[in-house]
Structure 1
Amino acid sequence: MITAHSERLGKQQSPLKLYLARLALSSRVTMTYVLQDAADRLGMVDIDIHDVPWHCVEPGHLTALVATLRADNYAPNTTSLYVNAIRGVMNEAWRQNLISHEQLLMIRSVKPVSGSRVVKGKNIRRTLIRELMEVCAADPRPQGRRDAAIIAILYGSGMRKAESVNLDLAQVDFAERSLQVLGKGNKQLIKYAPTWAFEVLEQWLQLRRSSLPPGHDDDAFLFNRIRRGNHITRDRITKHAIYFIAKQRGRQIGVDIMPHDFRRSFITRVIEEFDLSIAQKLAHHTHIATTAAYDMRGENERRRVVDRFDL
């Protein structure tokens, strides 16, 4: 595939670094993984992605990459992620005069696999949300109140887990019931949550403050890591911990839950009870088609709609 080059870019900045630098932190992690896998598939298994000569990628390489992803039964959306990642790096390579505009246009002409897949995930009904809150309330450890607050904010506002992890106390307005988050594309967004979610959050914060030694200021962030022995650390929680909490609390009520299911459920409920355009605004989606893809209403509900078409 691509011959490994040992040359340096001199005073020019690496197109890979420039591309990753303009991404949000969560997207940066994802695209780093995607580009590392792409480099491996392009025959550069033993080369760090920062040493890969991305400006030497040709349309044929990208076409071959799409073919291997298709052969491995990767979903169309995932294939698009790979193609867009390499396009992003090549855009930066063009800006650095490492490739010609003609080469950039040829790279852009390579299309990912078309098609779609059935959306994974689930719609967590209100009855299950209540069960989750009851399970947390029955947990006498600090984890009980913290996990209840995390679930309340994720489901009540529809925010992403990365956004909840990065939330700071200064970004929360209890009077307005709003939360200012840094979303995808480095955009500042205002999320809203219901009164009950803020009440659960306040219960967690009160418990956290009561555990602090006298004279110590409260933590700047919202959710803390809790170690064995129920010790509330002064460290911010991680995205992996949010994943673990969703899985653990879900098992307690007999449901397999992913953190993003709370966002799916929020958007589905807004679509059900209001309309698609309001759901789009609350989800902060640029395109309404993205919001529509979050509609997790099941086949039974679709059948009931059709059954109403009587003669």
Structure 2
Amino acid sequence: MDQERDQTPGAAEKQAWLRSLELDEHLSAHSLRAYAGDLEGLLEHLHRLGRSRLQEVELADLRSWLANQQTRGMARSTLQRRAAAVRGFFAWLHRGGVIDHDPAQTLRSPRLGRRLPPTLEQATAEEVLRRAIEAVAAEDTPPARRDVALLEVLYACGIRVSELCGLDLGSLDHERRLLRVLGKGDKQRSVPVGGPAWRALLAWLEVRDQLAGPSAGPAVFVGERGARIDQRVVRRIVHRALAVVPGAPDLGPHGLRHAMATHLLEGGADLRSVQELLGHASLATTQIYTHVTNDRLRAAFEQAHPRA
């Protein structure tokens, strides 16, 4: 079966394109696997259509591939990613002279419906953190201090769970109270840390060595077994912290990131600053949070204004 796939027209070009994405664009292993699967499905579709060379591919072939998946109920977000992968692949082939025309240049992605990210009310976020701090006061253990610190940092800084787990002791700028975060595409940014989060972080670092083992290295956050903390452990900690607050939605670390962005905009922060804090490559990605805040304003207006 593998040998048959290797003989599929375009298989060698697919591998070369994925290597270029890995080396030049620094895409994550997860993104590369997704693109590999997308192109594998496309190349098999083209093979069934009788296209023996990539030079023979037309826009109609690509549209039929997307339409076939849409009729099978594929999510629009997946179709959008696959269309983007195809456009990127054929543009790369065209730039490299492998094909003399780019059939995917006008391939449209299916439009996504507006999907607002789930988030926390400010009062709920405060209650989650208050209860976690109370747990430390009741039982002051290294894991309890760590849990408060990571909850505070996730909410205060809005960093991704992967960025939190990747923090090293050298990432902490004590003089300016900043975190140097390594984000997507190996891009580094500096994120300010609020007073409560910084104090919780320092309180955890005081007892970190009681939990850290030899395999922890310079990791800021470590797990119960003494190694660098795993993303799954962080998710469990966040879910557990939210579960003790009545009415809190069941969100993971990304929910705290959403909350941070939403609450900043509600407090008057400008969109460009929020974009830089979150590490978004495009301002369009950050703009989803303006929909959240606008919808909340609309709900408040309709509930409270006498002539709404």
TM-score between both structures, scaled by the size of structure 1: 0.76
User: Corresponding residue for 1:135?
Assistant: 132
Assess if the C-alpha contact under 8 Å between 2:80 and 2:110 holds in 1: yes
The more displaced of 278-287 and 141-150 is 278-287
- 1:271 is aligned to 2:270: no
Pick aligned residue for 2:239 from 238, 247, 251: 247
- Please state which structure has a larger fraction of its residues in helix: 2
Assess if the C-alpha contact under 8 Å between 1:276 and 1:291 holds in 2: no
TM-score between both structures, scaled by the size of structure 2: 0.77
SS at match of 1:294: helix
The alignment covers a number of residue pairs equal to 288
Pick aligned residue for 2:301 from 296, 302, 305: 305
The 1:275/1:75 distance shift into structure 2, 3 A limit, reads: farther
User: Corresponding residue for 1:222?
Assistant: 220
The 1:263/1:74 distance shift into structure 2, 3 A limit, reads: farther
Query: Can you give the 5+ residue segments of structure 2 that lack an aligned partner in the other structure?
Result: 46-51
The separation in 2 between residues aligned to 1:115 and 1:169, in whole angstroms, is 40
Assess if the C-alpha contact under 8 Å between 1:171 and 1:181 holds in 2: yes
The separation in 2 between residues aligned to 1:142 and 1:56, in whole angstroms, is 61
The separation in 2 between residues aligned to 1:237 and 1:211, in whole angstroms, is 11
Instruction: Give the deviation of 1:30 after TM superposition.
Output: 3.2
Assess if the C-alpha contact under 8 Å between 2:145 and 2:204 holds in 1: yes
User: Corresponding residue for 2:178?
Assistant: 178
The 1:251/1:14 distance shift into structure 2, 3 A limit, reads: same
The separation in 2 between residues aligned to 1:54 and 1:204, in whole angstroms, is 59
Letter matched to residue 122 of structure 2: R
Pick aligned residue for 2:285 from 284, 287, 290: 290
The 1:24/1:256 distance shift into structure 2, 3 A limit, reads: farther
Instruction: Give the deviation of 1:37 after TM superposition.
Output: 5.3
- 1:260 is aligned to 2:259: no
Instruction: Give the deviation of 1:186 after TM superposition.
Output: 2.9
SS at match of 1:236: coil
Correspondence 1:183-222 to 2 at 5 A: 183-211=183-211, 219-222=217-220
The separation in 2 between residues aligned to 1:221 and 1:35, in whole angstroms, is 32
The 1:211/1:111 distance shift into structure 2, 3 A limit, reads: closer
User: Corresponding residue for 1:237?
Assistant: 229
Query: Can you give the 5+ residue segments of structure 1 that lack an aligned partner in the other structure?
Result: 45-52, 228-232
Assess if the C-alpha contact under 8 Å between 1:124 and 1:261 holds in 2: no
Percent identical pairs in the alignment equals 23
Instruction: Give the deviation of 1:124 after TM superposition.
Output: 4.3
